[in-house]
Structure 1
Amino acid sequence: MSTGQDSQSRIVLYVSATIALLFVAVSIIMPVQTDKAANTMLAFLTVNFGWLYLLSVFIFTVTVIGAALSRYGGIKLGKDDDKPEFTNFQWFTMLFGSGMGVGLLYWAVAEPMIHYMKPPIGEAQTAEAMFLAMRYIFNDFGIHVWIIYGVCGLALAYFQFRKGLPCLISSAFYPILGERIHGPIGKTIDILTVVTTIFGVATSLGLGANQIAGGLQYIWGIKSSPQIAAMAIGVITTVVTLATISGLHKAMQVVADTKVWLMSAFMLFTFLLGGAVFQLNIFTHTLGDYLQNFIGQSLWMGNLEWTQAWPVFYRAWYIAWAGFVGQFVARVSKGRTIREFVLAITLLPSGFCFIWLAIYGGAAFHLDSLSNGAIQAAVQADTATALFALLKHLPLYAITAPLAIVAIVTSLTAAVNSATYTLGMLTSGGDMEPSKKLRAFWGIAQGAVTIMLILVGGTSILKSMQTASIAGAFPFMLIMLVMCYCVVKAFSEEEV
């Protein structure tokens, strides 16, 4: 890296770290005011621009699917003779591991029950409400998630590996900015990406640790507390830091593989013992309903309050993660064709999510009916323990409950692992192999900030940071719309 490039990368590192630390300091000093300001901003954006979040993701969908089906689908994300670095299975586990995991563990039981008890339309606690609840969660965790990640991943992989630009979010804007991607505009884009990544990872790590603490209390009666959550974060931070500095091929692959195999084993266990036929009926009906209503559900705003609280919130949350997840999936997809990348990123992880949701959502409804509403009661009491409440109604609870804790830990580790690696790239001028010192810094920094926040203010400060991250997704959504234009413009200049 040249001296000029090194200076520019240090600017991104120092400015983004300063912004994050200032927000953390203000959150600790003025927690109530920070929470109020963040919620006011989020409410303003979702109420006035909820339609734009939904419409933007629909535009992303058309762009990504259109690229795969067009004559440009055969273009390599790299030079024409580049070969993939990873096997298909390794590639899939890293695609899935970077962008999903703890959310499925947290919401697969709780969210369908919430919509079942309080649907946006129709009568609650009916068969129709159950099927609609499953379609809603398919919509929240399905293809749209991976389309959002795919837009960034496609643009970044194309401009980095085919056009030879730095591994930075700003590189995707070369068709309209040219060499100015190395100037203030490009650095602003990269800084925004780093800051939203720090906030998003910190909140996910903290809220995931709270689920671990809640699980420990539910299983063994160990009182849930900020100290227990902080200890969980400490363990995850240690694992992430050691794994990240050891290299992409080693520990990151082990973590991703462990997560996928463990979640697959959980699915099989719950499928076999949680009402398999009922789950298959749920899956078949919901998949057909989801596909049939894909466009309408993507843009549905029939109940504005519900839409802002669920689909818009989810779209904004995934957009907040899109910078780092997109960068990571781009990094591991070198040598794949555009069509291969799009089909993999949209269909494989979402297909896994659909199966998981149908199994756990179906098991939740099946066991709830057999236990006179016990799952509903558990969700109303504490959504963080919904998964454990379901496992308690299945055999081998003494084994599966602790394994659920392990699954949460591996899911968090996989996501934070990829984020740490990506933060290293973004703050080192796009170096595809950032220094171990820098990777260690980001691993420790993320954990330390989260521990400090959770010890000082508990989940309230973390939720303020989550809200701020989602609010920060609004300008990044606009950046992604421009990114779509840049991709289309660049493809039109390809000779195919």
Structure 2
Amino acid sequence: MTNGNEKIKTSRSVMYISSIIVMLFVLFGMFFPEQMGKAADASFAFLTTDFGWLYLLAVGFFTVFVYVVAFSRFGLIKLGKDDDKPEFSNFQWFSMLFGGGMGIGLVFWSVAEPMMHYLSPPVGEGATAESMRTAMRIVFFHWGIHPWVIFAIGGLALAYFQFRKGLPFLISSAFYPLIGDRIYGPIGKAIDILSAFATVFGVATSLGLGSNQIATGLQYIWGIQATPTTVSIIIAVMTMLFTLATISGLHKAMQLAADIKVWLSIGFMVFIFLFGGTVLILNNFTDSLGYYLQNFIGQTLWMGNVDWLKGWTVFYWAWWIAWAPFVGQFVARVSKGRTIREFVLAVTLLPSGFSMVWLSIYAGAAFNLDKLSNGAIQAAVNNDYTTALFATLQQLPMYSITAPLAILLIVASFVGSANSATYVLAMLTSNGDMNPGKQIRSFWGIIQGAFTIILILVGGGTAALAVLRTVSIVAAFPFMLIMIIMCFSIYKALAQEKL
């Protein structure tokens, strides 16, 4: 296999084409917002109605593939040279993987999603004991093993072909066994452009959701109106924060945000666990874990309520696929020297286990406090689901302290994720350079923020978020097909290993 470092050229075609596509989309949204909305809705309806089954089948295939590889003879292959040692101790590695599981999405949906499924389950009546069990099974499904299987495939491809085969740190490198040196030509560049495109929309969706939650939180706490202008100002501030952090370096500038995120996350979990109904939370976790594992295969391929699936599971699978280049890069970077089996088991089980504990604490407390407050939390969710977290904290002690800290946690969680995603976009569009220049890093930071602000201002808050969600599904569709082919390419490369 050719050493990729000898083949890297200074071509900026991936950056130029990716940025032109994104900017054309922004301009189209500015001048033809109604048409963009209709086009996005039509694409969404076509993909989710006619190909919703493919999203489910693909993620089911990824799950089988990654575990078959891990437990086969290939599981002992190192992500690196045979004599490479892990860069980090087990404890450091596990800590970083846990950190990777603490994203903005968990903070945003930790109360809102289980409450929404509890009130409007895909089957059966809402607001019952059975719908509560169903809600927890669904959130475990959406935030558990399946998302991390998607990330593990992206990470496995990047780590294997970079650390063991010496190819560029690009998604296109995973296709070397199938197309050879053509990964450096138009085909490879098209793959990297699609990777960048999917990442931009995944990050923009998260930026929109996170900013909207901050805005509604400010309104809920202090009465500051959550208008599209307010949301846009918040996006601008957050964009400035993560862009400055990205420019100043991946490690130094983000250490403070990472520390704030970790300690606030731990603090909130302990606080809610102690004051939100400890026994109920523990009972809820135990029952939900068993129910989730019992229905693992059936839930993976369940198509019993297509309309519900389009708004939830299909959206989530598309969102996770859009984030696969970014999170895959993160887990790959910290896993050099690990065996494939170690990598797969740690990446798919540790962060998903953390997510389930997190969700059990937040959702269990919300269910308990909702009952004690005669439905205060479900009333807040019905009115505006983005306020669910604050409505829950309001039922607990020290709300005047915890509410502003929750805002800080949301900001820290998003800044960390967006900074890393911006860094990855810079890598994807600079030939896999693991230390891309500051100009290209700042360029992608500003582009993402401006892109989201324009959509919010032109389309209005809720409508723009709906468009972002829709477009993220559309953008992830071709990348899902790329990931399916990627699995066959990984298998072909592993089969050529001398074991």
Deviates more, 1:142-151 or 1:87-96: 87-96
CA 1:223–1:87: 2 relative to 1, 3 Å: farther
Amino acid at match of 1:465: L
Q: Flag as ranges the 4+ runs of structure 1 deviating above 6 A.
A: 1-4
1:461 to 444, 464, 489: 464
Counterparts of 2:444 and 2:91, CA distance in 1:
28
Residue in 2 that maps onto 1:150: 152
Q: CA deviation at 1:198?
A: 1.2
* Mapping of residues 409-420 of structure 1, within 5 Å: 409-420=411-422
Counterparts of 1:262 and 1:185, CA distance in 2:
44
2:267 to 265, 268, 277: 265
Counterparts of 1:467 and 1:93, CA distance in 2:
33
Counterparts of 1:102 and 1:82, CA distance in 2:
34
Q: Secondary structure at the match of 2:432?
A: coil
1:251 to 253, 256, 278: 253
Residue in 2 that maps onto 1:320: 322
Deviations 1:94-136 (A, max 9, x none): 4455565221112111111111111122222211111111101
Counterparts of 2:357 and 2:53, CA distance in 1:
29
CA 1:96–1:244: 2 relative to 1, 3 Å: farther
Amino acid at match of 2:22: A
Q: CA deviation at 1:34?
A: 0.6
CA 1:163–1:3: 2 relative to 1, 3 Å: closer
Residue in 1 that maps onto 2:490: 487
Q: CA deviation at 1:164?
A: 0.4
Counterparts of 1:91 and 1:455, CA distance in 2:
41
Residue in 2 that maps onto 1:179: 181
Amino acid at match of 1:477: M
- Would you say the 8 A contact 2:29–2:458 is kept in 1? no
Q: Secondary structure at the match of 1:223?
A: coil
Residue in 2 that maps onto 1:310: 312
- Would you say the 8 A contact 2:214–2:407 is kept in 1? yes
Q: CA deviation at 1:3?
A: 11
List alignment gaps of at least 5 residues for structure 1.
Answer: none
- Would you say the 8 A contact 2:315–2:469 is kept in 1? no
Residue in 2 that maps onto 1:103: 105
Q: Secondary structure at the match of 1:248?
A: coil
Counterparts of 1:457 and 1:44, CA distance in 2:
22
1:471 to 474, 478, 481: 474
CA 1:344–1:253: 2 relative to 1, 3 Å: farther
Counterparts of 1:87 and 1:26, CA distance in 2:
49
Q: CA deviation at 1:288?
A: 0.6
Deviates more, 1:194-203 or 1:51-60: 194-203
- Would you say the 8 A contact 1:97–1:411 is kept in 2? no
* Mapping of residues 276-295 of structure 1, within 5 Å: 276-295=278-297
Alignment of 1:193 with 2:195, yes or no, is: yes
Amino acid at match of 2:43: M
Q: CA deviation at 1:320?
A: 1.6
* Mapping of residues 270-419 of structure 1, within 5 Å: 270-419=272-421
2:36 to 19, 24, 34: 34
Residue in 2 that maps onto 1:135: 137
Deviates more, 1:419-428 or 1:16-25: 419-428
Counterparts of 1:421 and 1:440, CA distance in 2:
9
- Would you say the 8 A contact 1:112–1:361 is kept in 2? yes
Counterparts of 2:370 and 2:157, CA distance in 1:
45
Counterparts of 1:245 and 1:6, CA distance in 2:
23
CA 1:442–1:254: 2 relative to 1, 3 Å: same
Counterparts of 2:18 and 2:435, CA distance in 1:
20
Counterparts of 1:267 and 1:2, CA distance in 2:
45
Q: Secondary structure at the match of 1:485?
A: helix
Q: CA deviation at 1:491?
A: 1.1
Deviates more, 1:300-309 or 1:447-456: 447-456
1:51 to 46, 53, 68: 53
Amino acid at match of 1:452: I
Q: CA deviation at 1:330?
A: 1.6
Residue in 1 that maps onto 2:23: 21
CA 1:74–1:255: 2 relative to 1, 3 Å: farther
1:433 to 432, 435, 440: 435
Deviates more, 1:448-457 or 1:290-299: 448-457
Amino acid at match of 2:254: M
Amino acid at match of 1:12: V
Amino acid at match of 1:164: G
CA RMSD of aligned residues (A): 1.9
Counterparts of 1:289 and 1:341, CA distance in 2:
26
Residue in 2 that maps onto 1:224: 226
Identical amino acids, percent of aligned pairs: 64
Counterparts of 1:30 and 1:72, CA distance in 2:
51
Q: Secondary structure at the match of 2:460?
A: helix
- Would you say the 8 A contact 2:143–2:352 is kept in 1? yes
List alignment gaps of at least 5 residues for structure 2.
Answer: none
Q: CA deviation at 1:165?
A: 0.4
TM-score with structure 1 length normalisation? 0.96
